[in-house]
Structure 1
Amino acid sequence: MQAFRSSAQRATQDMRVVFPQTPCQRNDHLSALFRADIWLKREDLSPVRSYKLRGAFNAMRKVEQASMFVCASAGNHAQGMAYMCRHFGVPGVVFMPVTTPQQKIDKTRIFGGEFIEIRLVGDYFDATLGEAQAFCARVGGHFLAPFDDRDVIEGQASVAVEIEAQMDALPDRIVLPVGGGGLAAGIRSYFGDEVALTFVEPEGGKSFAAAIEAGGPVTLNKVDNFVDGAAVARIGAAPWEVLKDTPRGDILAAPENRICTTILDMLNVEGIVLEPAGALAVDALKDIADEIVGTRVVCITSGGNFDFERLPDVKERAQRYAGLKKYLILRLPQRPGALHEFLDVLGPEDDITRFEYLKKSARNFGSVLIGIETKQAGNFDALFRRLDDTGFVYRDTTDDQILAEFLI
């Protein structure tokens, strides 16, 4: 452990030539909300708005000879490698899925400048990764893995080095996100058992928890990619060796829709822009609220590469999680006055945000998709009672994922 600590400290010192340490700030809003001393390690304020440039720097500086660096990524890892290619003055090729948003492509190109080439290959990441690895083998390049690399893990440990230097005493707990496990393994390797660690995965990508339960890394059959910075189907082999004795109770899963409420809260209250993976640690405070009262907690906000085109979807998910928005399929009688009768059932705080006939040809009844927003979740209970009392037939489809894909 001491050897790792020393090497991580040296790596951190060397990084200062490239970029300054990120702030570790006490957050008054969260501290009051959870009755604890809450600090944020602001990796969203790094030059590439995530911690990924740390591992890229450390791994790339240790490669003595490479014709070029190659990676496959649709986001933060690509930007981190591109930034370091420009710093070291070495060529790099970044493979991205064809479906990568233009904003991420443009940012990667800006960070790498003339030193990188971007290739858009494959509709899904697995195809992109395969093409990247095959290309790397053909040209004799160095493939830079996003997390399954001991030098990358050592680089990510610089987050822990900075936390230790920035605080007057070690925190009681650090809450951090887990995707492939590079950051988690780095923090764990540096602090050992000195600080309690709480690991957070997205509900739709619990590869770490699955590995603990199975006794080794397993590949998830399905992954929800909404939390794209941490939705990984299989935890890395190198991180697993560090993390394999983690108690199952130290691993939490954050629901994707609840994460959206945290993103909006941090944006509206604090003016802090977090991507879904960057909000994981803050969101998980809700699950450990009773345990952390009166303690000092550091949450690692791991990234802020948020595409604001996603904001309407984030708001929608947050409202649905909070019970403030629902979608109903209403069986509406095909006669004059029926719609007026329905409108009379709505409460003073209920607002129709969508109204669409799904079936207009029926002689007696028509199916209508209705989206309703309200100001208090309890308003829907009262609305449903009034609908039942007046004889309207309806179905709440808010949580029906299959119908939502087709209708919403």
Structure 2
Amino acid sequence: MAHRYIKKILEARVYDVAVETPLDEARGLSERLNNRVLLKREDLQPVFSFKIRGAYNKMRQLTEEQLACGVVAASAGNHAQGLAMAAKKMGVKATIVMPKTTPELKVNNVRRLGGKVVLHGDAYDDASAYAKALVAEKGMTYVHPFDDPDVIAGQGTIAMEILRQESGPIDAIFVPVGGGGLIAGIAAYVKYLRPETKVIGVEPSEAACLHAALAAGSRVVLPQVGIFADGVAVAQIGENTFELAREYVDEVICVSTDEICAAIKDIYDDTRSICEPAGALGIAGMKKYVAREQCSNQTLIAIDSGANVNFDRLRHIAERSELGEKREVIVAAKIPEKPGSFKKFCTALGKRNITEFNYRYSNDDTAVVFAGIQVKPNNDGRDELLAEIREHLDEVIDLTDDETAKLHVRYMVGGHAPEAVDNEVVYRFEFPERPGALMKFLTKLGGRWNISMFHYRNHGAAAGRVLVGMQVPAQEHSQVQAFLDEIGYEYWDETDNASYQLFLG
């Protein structure tokens, strides 16, 4: 199988529009990880993403008749920009179907590159279905974002450059994975020429379609896909890409949102560039791999796949990076409501810095505090802190991995609900972030039961995050799930969540 792709990669037409990107040494990361860390800077492409390679190579393989019909694709951003630029270069009409939740930055850039934008649906699958309908209706030529041999070959030119730029031994290459076009092209080329080099895929834990497929032995459709790393938010790995990945990829590492944010900061510290969440996956996976294998003095390469991130997302990324670097621990603790208690709490922390402290009077006996505390950047630092606090205080809960605490409760600490609020159930939601979505959500939700608590905070992402308390009589609890399923948004029951019970319940 690799032989066929090697020829296609060597013959790929990409450099009319793409550039050969540098392989930069990340000196700070190299020192911290005790390995030689190199970054393949695909964020420096003209459209700030590697996607221009595959899109243009596919366009160059089309016939005059196919090009005359115009090209169409579904994309949430990077493929859209790559195809729009490729089409402009070749004088071909391009229509890009994008979800209505697509960040304005990407929509405007596609239009700036000459592409016609059609906003349809709330997710990639909706946009993809509409794009394929245009193919059937108008005879347009569909250019798939990843599951196409010519697209895969275009992305594989990255591997060709890496092996030319780094002639010495390469121990491992860490590649972001969405639909699999990038890792399929890289793995096919690298394993053919340097089979000793590991090719390791990296996926967000909340969108790990290749990891799930490899575990099952066949392609699966994820029931739910998180979209923090929107560039790789894909529910099912491609058919062609899976066949290549199954044969040539050594393993897939899954990373959390916090670990991705920490990797974005790592890349910024070394390059002074800001990559998008998907672009930082390689570094996030590399750090996890080094910690697991305890390897040193190796040459490790990460693909920095893109830099298309909305500026207003940086606030959220910065907030989560310290948690991802394991430099911050979030705890809830009960302390006596009397003079000297706060001093006792601080004594339990030793000389560590407090990054956040939230408290409000609740009753005469016990105070509940929500605190962020700096620790040494390793798992031992977290364990040591918790052990020391528990020597001084009876009730301490670690909330560092609690999404509800990090997304909502930390901004809402202000006392428990009054006694008049009874029968409260709590749900956490994600809904498409577009004009009118919040009002539509409130209209549907508020028409059935009284809303007793509500928290929403814009994170500059494609999904809005909401925490809602509703007063639901006990005899109607069985009706809640059916009602929420009708609304059609992802949701989680957080009624028994520890941070809610401590601070808001």
**TM-score when normalising by structure 1:** 0.85
Whether the 8 Å contact between 2:375 and 2:385 is mirrored in structure 1 is: no
| Equivalent-residue separation in structure 2 for 1:325 and 1:35 (angstroms) | 23
Q: Does 1:296 align with 2:296?
A: no
- Matched ranges for 1:238-277 at <5 A: 238-246=240-248, 250-277=251-278
User: Aligned-pair distance for 1:90?
Assistant: 1.3
| Equivalent-residue separation in structure 1 for 2:392 and 2:35 (angstroms) | 47
SS in 2 for 1:118: strand
| Equivalent-residue separation in structure 2 for 1:133 and 1:17 (angstroms) | 28
Q: Name the aligned partner's letter for residue 188 of structure 1.
A: A
Task: Tell me how large the CA RMSD over aligned residues is.
Answer: 2.9
- Matched ranges for 1:207-222 at <5 A: 207-222=209-224
Segment of structure 1 superposing worse, 213-222 or 198-207: 198-207
Counterpart position of 2:135: 136
SS in 2 for 1:192: helix
Whether the 8 Å contact between 1:345 and 1:387 is mirrored in structure 2 is: no
SS in 1 for 2:276: coil
Query: Are the structure 2 counterparts of residues 191 and 329 from structure 1 closer, same or farther at C-alpha, using a change threshold of 3 Å?
Result: closer
- Matched ranges for 1:36-75 at <5 A: 36-64=35-63, 65-66=66-67, 67-75=69-77
Deviations 1:161-191 (Å, cap 9, x if unpaired)? Answer: 2223333356343222222111111112223
Q: Name the aligned partner's letter for residue 10 of structure 1.
A: E
- Segments of 5+ residues of structure 1 without an aligned counterpart are none
Whether the 8 Å contact between 1:325 and 1:371 is mirrored in structure 2 is: no
Q: Name the aligned partner's letter for residue 138 of structure 1.
A: E
| Equivalent-residue separation in structure 2 for 1:169 and 1:379 (angstroms) | 38
Q: Name the aligned partner's letter for residue 254 of structure 2.
A: A
Query: Are the structure 2 counterparts of residues 381 and 39 from structure 1 closer, same or farther at C-alpha, using a change threshold of 3 Å?
Result: closer
Segment of structure 1 superposing worse, 232-241 or 94-103: 94-103
- Matched ranges for 1:6-405 at <5 A: 6-11=7-12, 14-64=13-63, 65-66=66-67, 67-110=69-112, 112=113, 115-169=114-168, 171-195=170-194, 196=197, 197-246=199-248, 250-289=251-290, 290=293, 293-329=296-332, 341-342=341-342, 345-346=345-346, 347=349, 349-351=352-354, 353=356, 355=358, 357=360, 364=364, 370-374=370-374, 376=376, 378=381, 385=388, 389=392, 395-405=397-407
Q: Name the aligned partner's letter for residue 321 of structure 1.
A: G
| Equivalent-residue separation in structure 2 for 1:139 and 1:325 (angstroms) | 55
- Segments of 5+ residues of structure 2 without an aligned counterpart are 411-505
Segment of structure 1 superposing worse, 74-83 or 397-406: 397-406
Deviations 1:79-125 (Å, cap 9, x if unpaired)? Answer: 11111121112111212222222222222222x2xx31112222222
User: Aligned-pair distance for 1:260?
Assistant: 1.5
Q: Name the aligned partner's letter for residue 268 of structure 2.
A: L
| Equivalent-residue separation in structure 2 for 1:240 and 1:138 (angstroms) | 30
Query: Are the structure 2 counterparts of residues 292 and 107 from structure 1 closer, same or farther at C-alpha, using a change threshold of 3 Å?
Result: farther
Aligned length: 395
SS in 2 for 1:50: coil
Query: Are the structure 2 counterparts of residues 394 and 92 from structure 1 closer, same or farther at C-alpha, using a change threshold of 3 Å?
Result: same
| Equivalent-residue separation in structure 1 for 2:85 and 2:122 (angstroms) | 25
Deviations 1:305-332 (Å, cap 9, x if unpaired)? Answer: 2323222212222222344444455557
Query: Are the structure 2 counterparts of residues 329 and 199 from structure 1 closer, same or farther at C-alpha, using a change threshold of 3 Å?
Result: closer
- Greater relative contact order (CA < 8 Å, ≥ 6 in sequence): 1
Q: Name the aligned partner's letter for residue 306 of structure 1.
A: V
User: Aligned-pair distance for 1:270?
Assistant: 3.1
SS in 1 for 2:11: helix
Whether the 8 Å contact between 2:147 and 2:240 is mirrored in structure 1 is: yes
User: Aligned-pair distance for 1:303?
Assistant: 1.3
Q: Name the aligned partner's letter for residue 139 of structure 1.
A: K
| Equivalent-residue separation in structure 1 for 2:376 and 2:38 (angstroms) | 31
Q: Name the aligned partner's letter for residue 228 of structure 1.
A: D
**TM-score when normalising by structure 2:** 0.70
Identity across the alignment (%): 32
Deviations 1:17-61 (Å, cap 9, x if unpaired)? Answer: 223211123333333333433322211111111110000001112
